[in-house]
Amino acid sequence: MTAGGGMPSRTAPRLPGGRVPWLGHAAAFGRDPVAFLRRGRERMGGDFSFTLLGQPVVFLCGRPAHEAVFRADEAVLSPREAYRFMTPVFGPGVAYDAEPEEMSRQIGHLLPALTSRSLAGYARVMEEEAESHFAAWAERGEADLVEVMNDLTVAIATRCLFGTGFRERMGPGLPRLYHDLESGIRLAGLLSPRLPLPSFRRRDRARAALSATLVRVIAERRAAGPAGDEPQDVLAALMAARTPDGAPLPDETVTGLLIGMIFAGQHTSAVLAAWTGVLLLDDPVRVAALVREQEDAIERDAPLDVRALRRMERLEWCVREAERLHPPLVVLMRKALRDFRYGGRLVPAGTLVMVSPAVAHRQPEVFRDPDHYDPSRYGPGREEHACPYALIGFGGGKHRCVGMAFAYQQVKIIWSVLLRRFDLELATGPHVPDYSTLVPAPRAPCRVRYRRRCAPLVSVRLTEADR
């Protein structure tokens, strides 16, 4: 076997240990996937292979490997086969359960709801949700950052995706339903997402409840009249979308894509928002600079718009640095359907290929002093993120996250409101990731102490036309 007719391709060396037949390295990986992958790489001096629940895995790291994986032909490296465990969330025939061309078409239907014009509309919703959430805070007190960010991203995602009224309709159990959906992300899902596990049963119940209400909302909107009068939310965009032969999308596709977006985007955004705060609040001098930036970027009590957000450059660097140090998705996967070669490396057909934003973002050859929190690395003259396939918290290539701008905007708006309205300091620490889930938030307790600096912005009230 040769790569490009030159040197023979070599398979990645096998990580010693993990001798328990079939289980392989599952215990160590399950305990802390990032430490496991980092240690394995140090020990093996680069790429290596191991076994997870009977599945051969190869871990690849470094910009050339990321580029090769993200740009590989899907007939060779398949996200579909790697993410089969998501089928119960998206539903049959939707996203990863569809053929690659159909999945691209389906993702394409989401894009009109994620244009800069749509994002400008969501900015108002995001600000309103943040203002009304924090208006309920006392004059001073303490709050759990992970819980706050979770509540807020539930509220924002629900309104931007499903429109107004959905949250009230679902009642106070909605955050729990979103949380249960995520029970689909379990190592056991690699084996079969249909195993009779309690967490998988909760996932299926949550999906069924969301889907039943969504189908009713779709029917009501259809009965209410033409899409032009609909609020600007992702549901409206999907209802306006047409298949190649001009038919509306089937209800199962619309509900599957919406529920899939909640799954992909809500908790991940909450975790990014929590880490952004934990890291930026660690230094009062930095907080003072960020507050000054807010004062320069936006007139007191003016509504937040996209132009003001663009002026919050330092805040954006802080979000990026949180993405780098604590990416919400710690591993991304593809399944090799055929032998895959890049450089001198051979990955045999049948292998699960893993890359890890969490490991990749700590490479000293890519990021200077990589364990050090330093948002200015993205500033003029350094721009360490500009290097292709270096910062991969939102993936890369064809399957790069379509919700990245939405997520960044949301996190920036939440922190813009917090920084303008409150004096803040961490009440707990040091904070470490809770790797018991594959979307690791800061481990509890993760609390901030706050004192209100100025009154909540009451003038931000959306009119029907704004929505």
Rule CB under 6 A: which residues touch ligand HEM?
79, 107, 261, 264-265, 268-269, 272, 328-329, 332, 393-395, 399, 401-403, 406-407
**Which C-beta is closer to ligand HEM: that of 89 or that of 261?**
261
The residue of the chain with the least Cβ separation from ligand HEM equals: 403
Phi-psi region of 95 (alpha: psi -120 to 50; beta: other; left: phi over 0): left
Q: How far apart (Å, rounded) are the C-alpha atoms in residues 355 and 65?
A: 8
Q: How far apart (Å, rounded) are the C-alpha atoms in residues 318 and 293?
A: 13
Cβ at position 19, least distance to ligand HEM in Å: 30
Q: How far apart (Å, rounded) are the C-alpha atoms in residues 465 and 136?
A: 26
Cβ at position 79, least distance to ligand HEM in Å: 5
409 in Cβ contact with 122 (< 8 Å)? yes
Cβ at position 23, least distance to ligand HEM in Å: 25
**Which C-beta is closer to ligand HEM: that of 227 or that of 404?**
404
Cβ at position 299, least distance to ligand HEM in Å: 28
Half-sphere CA count of 305, side-chain side, radius 13 A:
6
**Which C-beta is closer to ligand HEM: that of 18 or that of 233?**
233
Cβ at position 328, least distance to ligand HEM in Å: 4
**Which C-beta is closer to ligand HEM: that of 291 or that of 397?**
397
Cβ at position 422, least distance to ligand HEM in Å: 23
Cβ at position 107, least distance to ligand HEM in Å: 5
Of the candidates 152, 452, 412, 432, the one whose C-alpha atom is nearest the C-alpha of residue 279 is 432
Cα–chain center distance at 459: 31
Q: How far apart (Å, rounded) are the C-alpha atoms in residues 436 and 330?
A: 12
DSSP secondary-structure letter at 45? T
Q: Which residue has the tokens 């290929």?
A: 353
Q: How far apart (Å, rounded) are the C-alpha atoms in residues 307 and 313?
A: 11
**Which C-beta is closer to ligand HEM: that of 71 or that of 140?**
71
**Which C-beta is closer to ligand HEM: that of 34 or that of 407?**
407
Q: Is the peptide bond before 430 cis (omega within 30 degrees of 0)?
A: yes
**Which C-beta is closer to ligand HEM: that of 337 or that of 401?**
401
